[in-house]
Every structure is written in C-alpha cells, then in structure tokens.
Structure 1
C-alpha cells in the first residue's frame, strides 16, 4: 500500500518542497480548528454544557491528539512514504468529520437510553466523548509526526519542524475566525463541516501529487533506534509538559476573565482563542529561527520559561488592574465591528506576550532533545505528547478544581509557579558543563534569584475587581473614575444608585455576584450583567413567569424551573396550593446554595432548606435542586411536569442558544403532562428586531398556539414572557379571578399586588384582569411580523450568532411597537363575563407614551 523510499536525489530536492509542506499544514490546522468548534457544539447538545461535560470533551480531544503523536511512529515504519501517510491521514480525518456530523443523532439516541445521575453518568459522558473524538483526534495528532519524517533531525530540519508547528497554528487561527465569524454565523454546522472536509481533501490531493514528483517522495536516510539519551532529555520533556499545563491553564483562566469584560458572546471566545493561537504561532516561528541558530536550545527554553513568569504576571495585571479602567462604553455605538476592534486590541495587549513565549517553547524543546540520526517522527511525537498531556492536565485541573476552589487570582499564582517549575526543570541539564563537571554556581544563583522574583510577582497579584464580575462589559459605567472629567449616564441595568458588593463567587461554570444598591434593591449578577433583582420591573417579570402558567393551568401539581437565579420565579409557585413538587435545575451550584438564599424575602425562601437536605420541604411542597444544564436534564429525565418555566441568561451568551432551539422546545413538549404549559423569559433590550423575531418565531414554530406577554408599564419596555401549550389556550377570566379570590389563594393575590398588579396600581382593577392585560399577541396574529425570521435549530444555533452581533442595541421600543401594530383582541383566547372582557379590551387599547 505504501511505496518504499526512492533513491536519494539530494538535500536540495527535499528542501524545495518544504515551503509547500508548510502551506499544507496551514490548511490542515484550519480544518482541525473548524472541526473542534463544530464537534464541541455537537457534543454539548448531547452530553450537556456543564464544566464536567466540557472537561470530558476536552480530555478526549487532547488525549487523542497526544496519543496519536506517540502511536504513529510506533505503528508506521519510517520507510513508508511520509507524504502518502500524511495524505491518507487527512482523508481519514475528513471521513471521520462526515461520520460525526451524520452519526451524532444516533449517538444521542443511545446516550439518552443509558444516561443517569452521579459518577456513573460522568463516566458515561466520558465514554460518549471518547467514542466520538478519539478516532479523529488520534489521526490529527499523527499528522505532525508523519510529516516530520520528511526532514532530518539536524538543526535545519528541527527548525523546519518548528515552522510546521507555527504554520499549523496559523491555520488554526484562520479556522477559528472562519468558523466563528462566517461559517457558523451565516450557514450551519453541516456547511462548516463540508468546508473542513474540502480542506482535508485538498491537502491530501496536494500531498499525494508531491509524493510522485521527483524529490517529493524522498525521505531522509533510515533512522537509528530512538532512545531518551540522558537525564537532561527527561528534564526537557518534563519542562515542556509543565509549559503545556501552564499554557492551557492560563487559557482557561484568562478566557473566563476576558469573556466577562468583553461580553460572553461566541465572537468574544473566537477572538480570545484566535489571539492566543496567533501568539503561539508567532512564538513557534520565532522559536524555530532561534533553534536553528542558537548555540544552546536548552538555554533558550529556560529563558522562555523564566520570561513566562513575567509575562503571566503582566497579563494578570492588565486584566485586573488596567483593562477594567479603559474608558470603553459599549453603548456608544451599536455597530459590532467597532466593538470587535476594541476587543481585539484588548486581547492582543493582554494575552499576546505570554502566548508568544509558550509558542516558542515547543521548537526549542524539539531542538533541545534532537540529535542527528534520530527518527524525527518519534522525536516530534514524544515532545508533542508531553506538551499535550501537560495541556490536558492544565485545562482539567484549572477549570474543574483550582478556579472553583481558590479563584482566578490564586490560579494565576499557580500559573507563575508552573512556569518557574518548568524553568527549573529545563535548567537541570545546564547545571554542569559536562556530565561529571562541577555545578555552575552562577546558574544556581541566577535560578534562585529568578525564583524569588517569580514568588514576589505571584504574591502581589490582585484579584479582578468585583465590578467586572457584576457588570462585565459595562464596567466603565460602574467605575466612574475610569473616565475622569466625562459625565456619563449609567445604563439601565445599573440604575442611578451606588452599588455595594455583598458576595462574589467563582464557580466551575460561571462567576456570580450579589450587590445591593443605596436605594435598597438587591441584584444577582451572572455572565457580567444583572440577571435578576428586586427592582419592580424585574420582580414583575419573575413573578409573571410563575403566576401566569400556574393560574392558567387548572391544577399545576409538578413544576420544573430551568435556571434558579434569584429564585423569585421558583418561589412564585410556593403560594399556589395545588403545587406539590418543584424541581429547580441550575448549571452552577453556587447559585442555589449561596446566591438564592440571599433573596429569601422575595422568593419565599424556596431553597433555604437545601443546606440541610435535597430535596427539602417548603410549606408542604417538595423542592429539589438538580445541578445540570436544563437541556441535558430534560433530555435525560423521564419525569413529566404540568409547568416548565425557563429563565436562562441572555441569548447572546455563548451556549444559551441551545435553550432556545426548536428541538429544545420539542423536548419541553414531550415532558409536559396533558394541558401542560411552557413559559419562557425573553429580553427585548440588548437586541435588535431580527434577534427578537428569531426568538419569538422559533418558539412559535414549536408552539403554533403560543402567546406573548409583555412586561411593560406606562410605556417602559423591558422584557416579555413566551407562553405555550400543545392545545389552543382558552383562559376563563371569571374563573381565574374567582380562583384568586379564594382564601387559599390569598398569598398569591398578595404576591401579584406586591409587583403592581391590581388595586395597588389602579383603583378597582382586579389582579387577574390586570395580569392578563400583559397580553401582547399570539402566534396566529404575529405571522406577518415574524415572516422571514431565522429559526434557531440545533444544527445552526443561529440565535447566539445573531444576538451576539447586536447586544449593544437598544431597540426595545421599536420591537414592542412592531408587535403592538399587529394587535387584535383574541376573542377565542379570553372568555368570560362581558364586563371583564370589556375592561380587558379598554386597558389594552390605551395609548402609551411612544405610540
């Protein structure tokens, strides 16, 4: 199958093809990164998007890459044609990409059959991720060792290996940007996969063509057996492993912090990753040049690691003490392109220096252990595997253990310690001028001094200001001193009062904060913005999410609340006497355990008992908290509910679109009992008309009888509730008000009055009528307004790309005006006495200040 090497045609014949091979690696890296983005999204839909799920996906991906780099040199003879081996690997990767795309529904079907809870479920998630990702990533990891056999292990050859590494990273940058900003934004995961497959095929075709050109198939002479020749080589492998650990640990920590500051959109994550990969590529290329000319690559590797202690401290300082104070007000311009320029500048300023040093470490490590006559495939495989295993450990340890346990500031201190440990490990071969020579005191003293400096840098690192955790991209508005001499209005989320921090926490999945304003209102912050508060406008919406479905349903005994937040929606079901069981699903344990109890007076202390037992009892109702993302819980539970409410974070946040797809709503329908109801929060702020239409049209695609209830009063527009039943909804206004007037619903009536429904707002107006007055439209009458809207599905996750473009827009008035322009009183939906129906018609026809 593989032809043997042809007679040698000379070194010049081999050299002239090396630039072409470099270009092949650019294409290969581009395809690999597109696959990584697509596969991550596909698997998140199956095994969930919790930190544990992401951890097992990452472990499978990187573990496969490392294993592939080690296995190929052992399984494939060095006498095989390197270009043909490389071409076949690329073709196999493309085939695997297509198999994953079309096979994932079958994987999901099997997973749902056996998924459960606890440690066994985590193991099963790992099995699924491994089955899907290990085969293609083994092949990806094998590509660099395969093509490495096209060069010698002399200084020039090792230098070219560094260039191949840099070219692969350059391609990864292109793939990251192409996937995040074009292929997935404009098309879908299938189109992105086809593009990656086309790259694989093109790369394989060129490699096969080169393999038959005179000089193109020529490989170096037969290598001798590969051995780790000395303790010094082992020290280098240890150093590059520690370097990989610090690199991926830093990527985890800094991506988390920067995404708070820039806004956690898909574009933010793409920019951060692209900058990180750019730095690795630049550093890899520079390191390749240094490895060719430096007298001691090991000295260069040591220097890189010591410089990394300074660079890590630089980035930590910039993120915590500089970037938050840049006078950037995102609401100044709604155009996403201006924001992207600022975000790119901030990422480059903070992240590029250490990324370049990590990139330079790889070719320097190659050169440090290379010697003439070695098998270049095994040389590259061992160094690459050491680096990848370290990176794998870094990503898992920092994301699942260190950050939740000690926070990002302490995690950055550990990063500096890892860089110092890598420098000390790489210094071991340099301690003596010869194997039996005396220890060099200058090197010992220098290492000791550098260690002290690294310790001081770590000691003086400061944590991120709590304002960044709370207000994210609007931090400049929360820190007026950031713009001295310039008067600025605070955005709607901040109000006019000063804020005081009551709690800041960094969980495995998200960073959260609780603040209290000088006028007495308390707010819950997640993803760098206010997600819930005790302000009237927020309290009204949160209770609408609970009370509307609970009152429309004749007997809501079981309730599922997706996303706990301040717990006000979940707590709204406590006063309803029919409710027997409340299940709360939240992705971050810190929220129900720490945050929600801080809002006990507003949420009827719905989760206060969780500290003692789970499930627990609240006023005769069983309340259970599930720590999982809502989609994964619904996909794997067999329980059905009378009411499902969903109050996720904003649709522009990466990953949230999975809770707004047609397929997710179909899952909700499948888990409803007869007559069951789904209620969903949607924002009308921080989005444009196209985004709002996409959210509403997608919901109505699954619930053709759906209703929209708006949270607007006196012309103040904020957000809305989507409401859906399988059957057409008919609401008896008289029966609903009679139910509220019953003694056992006294607390429910009071709960409505507390947020402005009923006589508290307007004399003589009944609570039930006032609540129903929030009706804004339904699917049948909004068809024309939503015509042409982009439907959000599992295959395109269109919403997160659409919403992420326009999160700085403030078009809520225009959006609600467009909805209200289609308004017709729903004679088939509201029934009851002529008097109450007449009141409803009169209320809704009153003009607002913007009509």
Structure 2
C-alpha cells in the first residue's frame, strides 16, 4: 500500500481496513451459511473473489497516479488527504478481506456434520488456518518477494486463491448439495439458539489483548534486534506459530482442567500474570541471545525466532488459549455443535483486534511505554477473568479471588516494570524519551557525538558534533542554483540540515517533510539552538507527511529538493530510493531546479549503491557527484541532477560571491567556489559500464537486499567508508575528470585537492599501523596540500574556521589553536 504512504498512520489505516473487512465478512457468514446448500461452491466463490480483488489492487497505483498532483499540498494536508487515503485503503483492502472473513464459516459448513463437531474439529480447523499463516508469511518474506517483488507476490497469492477455488469446485462436484429436508441438516443450519454475550465478550477481549500484546512485542524486540524488514517478520512468525499451537492444544488441555469454560478462566488469569513477566523474561533472554549482525542471515532469523518464542511465547501461549476455548465452549454449552454461528465470534474477535491494536498505539504506548504497557494489558486480562467468573452461576468465590489476585499482581508490577530501560543508557545521558506508533524516540547526549535523536534504539538521526557536516548537506545544493527561493527537504531529523537553508538570504520558503511527529517534537524542543529554530521560523514550514506523497502533490513548485541520508535497511525507507519517487521529485522541480539526494555511504554496500545510482539515472541521465566532508568515517555522497540544464560553475561562483558578500554562511569551505570544487568528484561514470537492477515500489529490491545484508555477515566490513571510500571516489568520479570534456583544468586540480584532504584526514584519524605506502605518501601529500591550497579560502578572515571539516591548522598554518573562532 505504497499508494497511501509509508507513515505509521497509513500502516494502521490499512491494518484497520483489513481487520474490519474480516469482521464484516465473518458477521455476514451466519446468515449466509443457513441458506447455503452447496458450501463448497460458496467457498470457491469466496476464494476466487479474494484472488481477483487482490489482482485489482496490484494495478491501482497506475490507475490512481493522478490523484496527488490533482489534490495539491493544501488539500493533502487538510481533511481531504486523510479522507482519500482512507477511501483508497477501504477500496483496496476491505473487499478482499471481507471475502476472507467468509472462508472459515463456509468451511465449517462444508466439513462439520455428523460426528465431526465444532468443539473439537472446528477448533482444529482454526488452528490449522492459523498455522498456515506461518507458511504463507515465511514463504513470501524469504522466497517470493525476492523472486517476484511485492506485485509478483500478490499475483502469486491470487493465483493460489484461484487454485484453491478450483479445488473447492471439485469437492462440490463430488459431494453434491446438502439435503435441507433432513432433521439433522436443520440442526446443522444452526436454527437453535444464539450466541451468548459472554462468548462474544470473551472473543472481543481475546482479540483486543492479543493484538495489543503483539504491538507491544514488536516494540520490545525492537529494543535489541537490528532494524530491518526481517525483524518484524521474525517476531510475527513466532507469534502466529505460538497462537496456532495453542489453538491446536485446546481440546486436550480443556479435558485436563475440567472443561472449556474453566480453561477460558484459567487462561485469562495466566495471561494476566504472563504479561507482567514477559518484559523481565525478555531482558534476561536478550543477555544470552543477541540477534546481532555477526552471523549468517538464516542464523539471525533462527536466533530471533527462538528469542521471541522463549521470551514472548509463555504469555502468548496462554493468551492464545482464550479464543479457541471460547469456540469450544460455544460448541458445547452454547449449543452450536456444528459452528453455524461461528462467524459472530470471529467478527467480535476481529473488532477486538482492531480496537486493541489502535488503543495500544494511541494510548498505551504514549502513556505507559512498552514495559508498563505490558503490565497494563495484564491488568486488562485480570479484569476480564473477573468478569468471566461473574458470568457463571453459581459463582465461585475461589475463582473470583484468583481473578482479583491476578489483576492486583499485574497492577503492583507496574512500578518495577517502569524502571526497565527503553534505550541502552551506556555512555549517554537520556534527555527525553517518547513512545508512539513509530517506536521509541529518544533525545540523548554524549561526549563523542553530542546531542542526537535515536529511534527504536537503532536509527540515529544527526548529532550536534557533526552539525557543520549536516549543514553542508543544505549549503551545497543551494549554491548550485542561481536563485533558490523555494526549497524542500525530505526528512527533518534534528532539523540542522533544513535549518541551514535559512542562512541563505535568497531562500524565501523552506518546507521540511517529516514522517514522525515525535521526531518533529524532539527537533523543536531540543535542537532549536542548532537548527535556527526551524520549527518556529516564519520562513519555514514543517509538514508531517510521507515525503514521496507530498512531493507528488507539489508539481513544479520547488527550486531545490534535498533528500536526507536515508538508511536503506530501515523498513519502508527503500521507497525513497525508488524510480517512482525520483520521478515525483523531478515533477516537483521548477524548470532548472536542482535535486540532491544524499547517500549515507557508511551504510551502503557497493551493490546497494549501484542499484540506487542506476535507478536515479533512469530519471536523471546527467548526474554529478559531490561529497559533503573530507572525513572518511561518515562520508555522504550527493547525487545531484537538474530538471533541465547542467552544472554551471559560473553560477556556483556567483552564488559563493553572494553569500560571502552578505556574510550569510560562515563555513569557509562553501563560501568559495574553490571550496565547492574541492567537494566535487566529477560526473557519475560507473566503472566498466556497470549495469545494475532498478529499484521500484513493486520489486522492493533495495529494501530486501539492504535488510538482508544488515542482519548478516558483518555488514560494516562491506560498507563504503575509510579506505573503501577513497577508492570509490577515484573509481566512480575523479579518474574521469579531464577526460570527458571537462573544460576547466583548475576544477580538476581542486577536486584532486579534496581527495588529498580526505587522505590526510583518514591518516590523521587512523589508530592502527600504517602501511609503508601510506608512510611514504604522508609527507608528499602534506606538502601538496600546504602549497596548493587555494589562497582565497586561506585568507578568509570572516569565516568561522571551527566549521572547517578537518585539520584547519594544516590548511591555515598561520593561525594557532586560539585563533580559531
């Protein structure tokens, strides 16, 4: 559903439509199964409808590409935008989910009769259906997505639905219609009795509790497991597996404890206590089971699933007993021996799941955090056990006491649970911490990196120690445009990069598009002195929206668009490196507009970079490469292109003269055309005619490849920084300078000066033994830098030399340390 954006709100909207569709289908089913004489044929129609409607969803982005440009940013950010997103989610997801909701009740109608009873065999059907989810999830995530992409996987799933429909038609032909005149069939049709409020309520509680727990479990595991597409997949696999096993065990366990009603009660009480124990058990497991990035991909997945099973499994197992036990009790004491009214329970369970997940996102996580949120869910289960005990006549004071004790213990545990950390506090001071849909967003301070934002304990946004390098991400593209007035930044982060655009007097309006409202809050409250108070500036506007959709709704609006340093292994981020997104950016540019997409090379492998540049060049054939710093530890590479036209160094010179004359920007490197030239690597020229695959919204190639690399095989050894960055700068850019029509010999000399400065910084910061070649090059490189460094930059006394990206005393030796201002 990239059509409606990648925000947490959009994901929740799609998720809600899916559960609502399931619930509506299940609610319609009881009335339908009473009248169906050929259930296998009806089941075939339902399966075929699921497949055909899913196929329609594959092509919806192509059919609806006109919506956002027509809507415009004003209405996108008003009530119309969310309304259209909701409408699209309903149109794509709800119809197929509705027919999915019909499947289990129709299957029960076809299978359950005579001695095949709902209280046992119907529960097993539910268990097998749940366990089938494990097979579907793992086969899609590990196989079909890699082979066919998202669109191809949907088509494959639709094809499987059609094959199942054909199989159901064969069974319909073999079995024939049900004889509606027989006494047994009247009982099978469920014409006796209804569904008790107790069963409906317990079904609702089970759905709400399990989905709330699942939301919290994702956040909990995210505190230690590396962030990637495969992290939620591993956790969800464990969750579905445990729920399926619990459902399968219900008939046997119910016999052990004395009936299904008592099993529901015991399961509610046990879940209340299990929720409280889960965070404590999780942190103990995390000490000896570290699903890090040191092993193989499948080793990571196995360890993640085992950790989830051990830490989340006990509470999840007893929670998973509740709904199947209610089904069994409904089939026994409820009189629905053949599950003809099963749909009402499924519908109640689905609505509970929808509301439970939404409540966890909207209230539990923001108010209580992950750990105390688990305790809150435990209290919820304890209260449900009490209500369940009260629904029984005669009432048992022993059962009432057990339920009260379970809820009370869960409540008492809230205090110690609140002391558990959401962030590894080692080496940092936590200034602020908030939890929401997008995870835990913390503002921390440390001696090494200064103040920064950390999302979900893994994704680091900026750092005040690197603020001048971050500001240069804005300065550089703004200097390549003759008159940048309207500028858009995709990503706010700490706000340092978009805030730097306010230093340019020519810039009249800055728009920063950020996906997370918690990140916007952190940037506003804790980074104002570093980001020029961009969240409150009259020249700036911060928009909480998906960057791809916002730009698609902004045709021909901006002079410059800057893409932040997006880490491709983060779930959903790969769409910002897709060909569809790059086309949207091109369309959002004014004639002559500049697009700069910064790449975090220290988080990319060569294959991943090759895919990004190949995708970029599909939209922008002429691409220029720039670095933002001489530091090889955290290099950022800018892919710069123009909507029309080419890089004009006379424009760069005029713009540098302007900012120097106005004294707008104090960074000595970007105040001079010579400094910008030292950041230049040349036109993008893949070595050896490299041809790489293109990343699209449908194939998800970059996100899958980066996520897989992230969790296996020590990815840091494959990323492009240090010596690998110096080699890359030569192979992909510098070696082509002066050989492909570059007119200015001085430009080439300055670009190579930038490479020498990078080499010097790499040697200066290196802590290991140097090779004989490096030892021999050091004095030569130092001499070349001192003698060849541009005099206009060296003589700039109005610049703030603290912003120089490296050893300022080397390039300006007449200044002592106390003269650096």
Within a 5 Å distance, the mapping from 1:84-99 to structure 2 comes to: 84-99=41-56
Contact 2:375/2:414, CA 8 A, preserved across alignment: yes
Change (3 A) 1:846 1:52: closer
Post-superposition offset of 1:684: 1.7
The equivalent position to 2:494 in structure 1, one of 558, 563, 566, is 566
The equivalent position to 1:221 in structure 2, one of 176, 180, 185, is 185
Contact 2:38/2:177, CA 8 A, preserved across alignment: no
Aligned residue for 1:515, secondary structure, equals strand
Contact 1:184/1:796, CA 8 A, preserved across alignment: yes
Query: How many residues are treated as equivalent by the alignment?
Result: 745
Q: Which residue of 1 aligns with 2:307?
A: 346
Q: Distance in 2 between matches of 1:649 and 1:833?
A: 33
Q: Distance in 2 between matches of 1:355 and 1:713?
A: 51
Q: Distance in 1 between matches of 2:741 and 2:489?
A: 26
The equivalent position to 2:404 in structure 1, one of 444, 448, 470, is 448
The TM-score with structure 1 as length reference comes to 0.81
Q: Distance in 2 between matches of 1:356 and 1:745?
A: 70
Residues 365-421 of structure 1, C-alpha deviations (whole Å, 9 max, x = no match): 012222486474542101111111100101112123332344333432321122112
Change (3 A) 1:829 1:423: farther
After the TM superposition, which of the residue ranges 585-594 and 372-381 deviates more from structure 2? Answer: 372-381
After the TM superposition, which of the residue ranges 812-821 and 278-287 deviates more from structure 2? Answer: 812-821
Contact 2:212/2:357, CA 8 A, preserved across alignment: yes
Q: Distance in 2 between matches of 1:88 and 1:737?
A: 69
The equivalent position to 1:66 in structure 2, one of 2, 23, 26, is 23
Say whether 1:393 aligns with 2:346: no
Within a 5 Å distance, the mapping from 1:94-493 to structure 2 comes to: 94-110=51-67, 113-114=70-71, 116-149=76-109, 150-152=111-113, 156-213=117-174, 221-223=185-187, 226=191, 233-291=196-254, 295-319=258-282, 321-326=283-288, 328=290, 330-333=292-295, 335-371=296-332, 374=336, 376-432=338-394, 439-462=395-418, 464-468=420-424, 479=426
The equivalent position to 1:710 in structure 2, one of 624, 627, 631, is 627
The equivalent position to 1:824 in structure 2, one of 717, 722, 735, is 735
Q: Distance in 2 between matches of 1:318 and 1:731?
A: 61
Contact 2:390/2:400, CA 8 A, preserved across alignment: no
Q: Distance in 1 between matches of 2:485 and 2:230?
A: 42
Post-superposition offset of 1:794: 1.4
Contact 1:70/1:378, CA 8 A, preserved across alignment: no
Q: Distance in 2 between matches of 1:110 and 1:451?
A: 50
Q: Which residue of 2 aligns with 1:29?
A: none
Aligned residue for 1:625, secondary structure, equals strand
Contact 2:265/2:388, CA 8 A, preserved across alignment: yes
Change (3 A) 1:702 1:441: same
Change (3 A) 1:318 1:294: closer
Q: Distance in 1 between matches of 2:143 and 2:661?
A: 53
Change (3 A) 1:796 1:288: farther
Change (3 A) 1:342 1:116: same
Post-superposition offset of 1:269: 1.2
Contact 1:301/1:361, CA 8 A, preserved across alignment: yes
Change (3 A) 1:577 1:375: same
Post-superposition offset of 1:462: 3.0
Contact 1:731/1:830, CA 8 A, preserved across alignment: no
Q: Distance in 1 between matches of 2:472 and 2:47?
A: 54
Post-superposition offset of 1:691: 1.5
Post-superposition offset of 1:318: 3.1
Post-superposition offset of 1:594: 2.7
Change (3 A) 1:412 1:120: farther
Post-superposition offset of 1:820: 2.0
Residues 680-709 of structure 1, C-alpha deviations (whole Å, 9 max, x = no match): 221222332211211222222221111222
Contact 1:661/1:794, CA 8 A, preserved across alignment: yes
Q: Distance in 2 between matches of 1:103 and 1:714?
A: 45
Aligned residue for 1:720, secondary structure, equals strand
Contact 1:731/1:831, CA 8 A, preserved across alignment: no
Post-superposition offset of 1:303: 0.8
Change (3 A) 1:835 1:562: closer
Contact 2:469/2:629, CA 8 A, preserved across alignment: no
Change (3 A) 1:688 1:836: closer
Say whether 1:740 aligns with 2:696: no
Change (3 A) 1:451 1:189: closer
The equivalent position to 1:778 in structure 2, one of 668, 674, 683, is 683
Q: Distance in 2 between matches of 1:640 and 1:442?
A: 70
Q: Distance in 1 between matches of 2:76 and 2:739?
A: 43
Say whether 1:661 aligns with 2:578: yes
Q: Distance in 2 between matches of 1:293 and 1:768?
A: 82
Change (3 A) 1:839 1:384: closer
Change (3 A) 1:770 1:379: same
Post-superposition offset of 1:422: 2.3
The TM-score with structure 2 as length reference comes to 0.84
Aligned residue for 2:603, secondary structure, equals coil
The equivalent position to 1:524 in structure 2, one of 445, 449, 453, is 453
Q: Distance in 1 between matches of 2:727 and 2:608?
A: 15
Post-superposition offset of 1:532: 3.5
Change (3 A) 1:148 1:76: closer
Post-superposition offset of 1:271: 0.8
Post-superposition offset of 1:628: 0.9
Q: Which residue of 2 aligns with 1:804?
A: 707
Q: Distance in 1 between matches of 2:449 and 2:335?
A: 75
Q: Distance in 1 between matches of 2:385 and 2:622?
A: 65
Structure 1, gaps ≥5 residues long: 1-42, 433-438, 469-477, 480-497, 610-615, 759-765
Residues 147-189 of structure 1, C-alpha deviations (whole Å, 9 max, x = no match): 1112149784321111111111111111111111221123212
Within a 5 Å distance, the mapping from 1:438-837 to structure 2 comes to: 439-462=395-418, 464-468=420-424, 479=426, 498-518=427-447, 521-529=450-458, 531-534=460-463, 538-607=466-535, 609=536, 616-617=537-538, 622-638=539-555, 640-647=557-564, 649-711=566-628, 713=630, 715-716=632-633, 718-732=635-649, 736-737=652-653, 739-742=655-658, 747-750=663-666, 752-753=667-668, 757=669, 767-779=672-684, 781-782=685-686, 784=688, 787-807=690-710, 808-810=714-716, 811=718, 812=720, 813-814=723-724, 817-822=727-732, 823-826=734-737, 835=746
Contact 1:159/1:292, CA 8 A, preserved across alignment: no
The two structures, once aligned, show a CA RMSD in angstroms of 3.0
